[in-house]
Amino acid sequence: MSEPRERERFEPAGAAEELDAADDLAGAAGKLDAADDLAGAAGKLDAADELAALRERFVLDDVVYLDGNSLGALPAGVPARVEDVVRRQWGELRIRSWEESGWWTAPERIGDRIAPLVGAAAGQIVVGDSTSVNVFKALVAAVRMADVGRDEILVDATTFPTDGYIAESAARMTGRTLRPVTPAEVPSALGDRTAAVLLNHVDYRTGRLHDLPALTAAVHAAGAYVVWDLCHSAGALPVGLDEHGVDLAVGCTYKYLNGGPGSPAYLYVRRDLQDRFDSPLPGWNSHAEPFGMRSAYAPASGAVRGRVGTPDILSLLALEAALEVWDGVSVDAVRAKSLALTDFFLRCVGEYVPDGLVESVTPAAHAERGSQVALRCDDAGDVMKRLIERGVVGDFRAPDILRFGFTPLYVGFADVERAARVLAETLG
């Protein structure tokens, strides 16, 4: 193991110990000092971690898995549930399962399971379709709700590409002008022409957490509507959709919510906007009388308006089983551990990795950090391949970013120390 060095640029600003923000681990953190070797420190922190037992709810191995911000690990209860859905609900009950197994109501029922994780009351989230489709529905609906004369859409210039593609298409379809701006530029860019604003809560490359309350308030003060993409925040930190008056939000379920590859996304429509939500994709599932087979469309009431076509039952019910790992888990406790993990990782990298080989592009301030750390590094693609070969799985984002996601439900401090140590050894 490399010899620990003095703390350097990687220590989070204002943190004398790596866990100051984590209430449940603060006692253990306070006992750590410069004399602690990092492996020993990790052991102390794992012993004090009240969420450590949650790791048993997942199917894991000896790999240090730091890519849950792309695809969450498999919850242990999912395989048996999927087998039941396939063999009994589909295999034996067949068409009866739409009613007897609750298939028809699954999109709203599972939406209500997600709601507490993003700070929403029941009846405002529907699950189905992909994130891209839900971004399209939400953004076009926001524009349609805007006052006459508001002919501009603002989009996060640093957004995940698909959000930008969808925003451009939505602007063309609605006859609006699309204006890319960074989240920091949004307040000054808003005006009486602004119809809607599409923003990411956490930057997918850098892990920067944007100020949802302040930006939402600024958009509302300008008389516009805001759509938030929660893909990299839901399940990792408190969101507060209801508390902060967010209009519309979307998110995927295969990252921190562990729903599985391609698991359906969700759409949030604030309760008082639901009767004005005019979906650009009015399908038979969102009709007021879906089995009336009427030629004229009449939207259903409530969050059901966000549905389109027949639900993807196999993926939906796998997701429902996956969400059971959240039973009894506090999102605030998850956030505290997330900050503790990322602080400790930054400390380990600072002590293990020689100067100049990596540079953190993730904000040091807790209020500006999601649940990942992004390191700029030469030959990052090759470095990540070598890390994976050695049992540390993160991911690479072109051209030079090593990205490590920290899922507090199953990542521990020993994982963090090992990842940083292997990174140092890999870089030579």
CA nearest neighbour of 262 among 320, 307, 199, 316: 316
Q: Which residue has the tokens 């087979």?
A: 293
pLDDT above 70 covers what percent of the chain?
Answer: 92
Confidence of residue 7 (pLDDT cuts 50, 70, 90): very low
- pLDDT interval class at 280 (50, 70, 90): very high
How many Å apart are CA 311 and CA 93, to the nearest integer?
Answer: 17
Backbone angles phi, psi at 289, to 5 degrees: -130, 80
Backbone dihedral angles phi then psi of residue 132, each to the nearest 5 degrees: -60, -45
Q: Is residue 294 scored above 70 in pLDDT?
A: yes
- Average pLDDT rounded to a whole number, residues 79-101: 98
Task: Specify whether the CB–CB gap between 225 and 146 falls below 8 A.
Answer: yes
CB-based contact 29:19 (threshold 8 Å): yes
Cα separation values, 98 from 85, 299, 332, Å: 12, 21, 36
Could you report the per-residue pLDDT of 162-217, keeping only the tens digit for each? Answer: 999 999 999 999 999 999 999 999 999 999 999 999 999 999 999 999 999 999 99
E runs forming strands in 236-355: 248-251, 266-269
Q: What is the mean pLDDT of the chain?
A: 93
Instruction: List residues with catalytic annotation.
Output: 160, 229, 254-255, 403
pLDDT the model gives residue 10: 46
Res. 14: pLDDT tops 50: no
pLDDT for 32 beyond 80: no
Q: Please say if the pLDDT value at position 22 is more than 90.
A: no
**Contact assessment for residue 372 and residue 208, using Cβ atoms and an 8 Å cutoff:** no
Pick from 315, 323, 310: nearest CA to 104: 310
The pLDDT confidence band at residue 25, using thresholds 50, 70 and 90, is low
Other beta carbons within 10 angstroms of residue 36's beta carbon come to 14
Q: Are 10 and 349 in contact (CB under 8 A)?
A: yes
pLDDT average, residue stretch 125-140? 98
Cross-strand bridge partners of residue 250:
229, 267
Q: What are 140-164's pLDDT values in tens digits?
A: 999 999 999 999 999 999 999 999 9
How far is Cα of residue 134 from the mean position of the Cα atoms in its chain? 15
What confidence tier does 23 reach under pLDDT thresholds 50, 70, 90?
low
- The letter for the amino acid at 365 is A
Closest residue by Cα to residue 29 from 6, 12, 14, 46: 46
Determine the residue type at 89.
Q
Report residue 145 as tokens.
């709700």
What is the arithmetic mean of pLDDT over 232-237?
A: 98
What's the pLDDT at 28? 54
Q: Which of 31-35, 300-304, 340-344 has the lowest mean pLDDT?
A: 31-35
Looking at residue 171, what is its pLDDT? 98
Q: How many CB atoms lie within 10 A of CB 319?
A: 27
Q: Note the pLDDT of residue 428.
A: 86
